[in-house]
């Protein structure tokens, strides 16, 4: 399976972001011929206040423009799309969620995942992030089968919680998808280290599609780190996107995964934590 990670610089213009995603996916399909494309976190909208996020959020289904675009890209290009994450509005509970939606080559929805761990911190640069002020947290650990590959779902801040990835591996995950919008302050020190650690400890492939660059946040401008990566089960980076919007592609080799797990059977040796 050929997997592509898409890197975007989404801002506070939903229509422009949808057009940018469509163009990047189209370019990746033409140049790299992927089977599975992974987009970054909240690619339809980055920045803006809570009111802007609520206005851009959509129920998942036909009436949502971002949902429809993902479906149409999957169907039109005959690819699988792991749709990063959307701003989901759940009318049943009047709540927003940060939600992944996945489509198969026919444009049929394969999976949904709501981000479990919400980013409520004061970053090293002193800026505060309070994701829980806008979004509800998910509760379900989600995997799905993308043809021959079992994929585990996560989003951004989830990356810091190894127990989620061990749970995904226990459910049979072979590829871990990590759409993200890591801040520049945290990403420069932790992003690659954590991705490689998750690959090593679970002996899974990792596909991490990131936001890069500036986006407005009230009266200030904030930056995302970027550096989208694909990591093999030994922890080696096999594909990387440099600064700016773009994409990178690698072949997910399940034989490589099987060899790593056979030669170093850490899952069989685990004593604590199940």
How buried is residue 2: exposed, middle or buried, by Cβ count under 10 Å (0-12/13-18/19+)? Answer: middle
What residues does 223 pair with on adjacent strands? 214
Phi, psi of 166 (to 5 degrees): -65, -35
Residue in 139, 90, 91 with CA at minimum distance from that of residue 116: 139
Residues catalogued as catalytic: 41, 115, 156
Rg (CA), the chain: 17
Q: How far apart are CA 198 and CA 184, in angstroms?
A: 20
Tokens representing residue 21 in the block: 């995603």
Degrees (nearest 5) of the Cα angle 46, 48, 53?
Answer: 80
On whether the CB atoms of residues 56 and 10 are closer than 8 A, the answer is no
């Amino acid at each position: 399976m050929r997997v592509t990670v898409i890197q975007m610089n989404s801002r506070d213009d939903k229509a422009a972001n949808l057009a940018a995603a469509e163009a990047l996916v189209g370019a990746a399909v033409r140049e790299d011929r992927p089977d599975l494309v992974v987009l970054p976190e909240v690619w339809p909208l980055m920045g803006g206040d809570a009111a802007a996020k609520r206005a851009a959020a959509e129920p998942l289904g036909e009436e949502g423009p971002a949902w429809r675009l993902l479906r149409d890209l999957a169907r039109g290009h005959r690819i699988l799309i792991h749709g990063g994450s959307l701003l989901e509005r759940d009318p049943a509970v009047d709540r927003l969620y940060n939600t992944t939606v996945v489509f198969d080559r026919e444009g049929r929805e394969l999976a949904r995942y709501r981000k479990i761990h919400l980013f409520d911190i004061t970053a090293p640069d002193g800026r505060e992030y309070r994701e829980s002020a806008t979004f509800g947290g998910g509760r379900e650990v989600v995997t799905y089968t993308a043809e021959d590959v079992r994929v585990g779902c996560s989003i951004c801040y989830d990356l810091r919680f190894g127990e989620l990835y061990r749970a995904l591996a226990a459910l049979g995950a072979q590829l871990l998808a990590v759409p993200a919008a890591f801040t520049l302050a945290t990403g420069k020190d932790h992003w690659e280290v954590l991705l490689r650690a998750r690959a090593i400890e679970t002996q899974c492939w990792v596909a991490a599609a990131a936001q890069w660059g500036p986006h407005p946040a009230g009266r200030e401008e904030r930056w995302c780190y970027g550096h989208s990566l694909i990591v093999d089960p030994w922890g080696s980076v096999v594909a990387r996107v440099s600064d700016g919007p773009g994409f990178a592609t690698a072949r997910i080799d399940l034989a490589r995964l099987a060899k790593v797990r056979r030669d170093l059977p850490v899952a069989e040796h685990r004593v604590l934590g199940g």
